[in-house]
Amino acid sequence: MRIGTRRSALALAQADLIARMLGGCEIVPILTSGDRGEGIEDKSRWVGELELALARGEVDIAVHSAKDVPGELAAGLVLAGTPARADPEDVLCGAASLAQLDSGARVGTSSIRRTAQLRAARADLEIVPIRGNVDTRLEKLARGEFDAIVLARAGLQRLGREDALGAVLDPAQFVPAPGQGALALELRDGDTRAHEALAAIVDADASSCLRAERALALALDADCHTPLGAHATLRDGELQLRGWLGLDGEAGWATDQLSAGAADAEALGRELGARLALARTAVEQTAGPA
């Protein structure tokens, strides 16, 4: 079995995890247009080359950070699901809490969602774009370019860098990105061998949560420019989904949550997405033309 992955340290660590879970596989690093700084600014720039390699039969499985996978997959490809999910929360590095930061403190993030949520929580902070992989961002923090930065807890865990964690941000307020902490396992539809291999490592509960979060994002036609959070949890057979949607300009945000059985994951996501879309439309109509 051949596993296709991006070439970043985090992507390779994630692919290695899946390879070990499957009992050993060949890892095939692939350079994506996103890694080259090319391509249009949407999620396809992180997965397009991997999907092409899958379609051509050059790899049997593609391993993605689930939050990077577009709502619509390339023709002939499917998601098998996800193994057990890592912690999905956002974390603050460089400070013991958000409240500890002084007014005007420089907080680094490249995420539109995190920017919107930080401004909602602390409008007095200076939110500054930051680029690079996890280690590069932590190096910039150590050099004093930022007072704090926000990262995904799962990335720190998988790279063995939890020593950099200052505070875990409350996921009820800082609702994570859809799929954050989960690994999406993509393969060719009808590839029985790969399907059977992945079925042994897919976690049913985590996969139900991922389906609900992806359905919410798809219902809102969300892309890289949508400040959207979606976080599902499953307890005693009940799936609870929370959504957070940043609204245009100074309109603020909308948040909502719903529950349903695990079997209704996609329907739950669609329903909550529809409710958030109505909230967005109401604000737009109230604001009127620019």
Q: Can you tell me the distance from the alpha carbon of 1 to that of 56, in angstroms, rounded to the nearest whole number? A: 15
| Active-site residue (options: 42, 60, 68, 264) | 68
Is position 264 annotated as part of the catalytic site?
A: no
Q: Can you tell me the distance from the alpha carbon of 60 to that of 53, in angstroms, rounded to the nearest whole number? A: 9
Which residues have C-beta within 8 Å of that of residue 81, sequence separation ≥ 6?
185, 198, 202, 203, 204, 206, 207, 210
* DSSP code for 262: G
* DSSP code for 39: S
- Give the DSSP per-residue string, 94-149: SSS-STTSPTT-EEE---HHHHHHHHHH-TTSEEE---S-HHHHHHHHHTTS-SEE
Amino acid symbol at 154: A
Using alpha carbons, select from 243, 190, 171 the residue that is nearest to residue 212: 243
HEC states along 197-235?
Answer: HHHCCCCHHHHHHHHHHHHHHHHCCCCCCCCEEEEEEEE
Contact by Cβ (8 Å): 112, 227: yes
Helix (H, G, I), strand (E, B) or coil at 288: coil
Using alpha carbons, select from 67, 58, 149 the residue that is nearest to residue 108: 149
Q: Can you tell me the distance from the alpha carbon of 125 to that of 288, in angstroms, rounded to the nearest whole number? A: 29
Six-digit token pair at 215?
A: 């359905």
The residues annotated as belonging to the active site are: 68
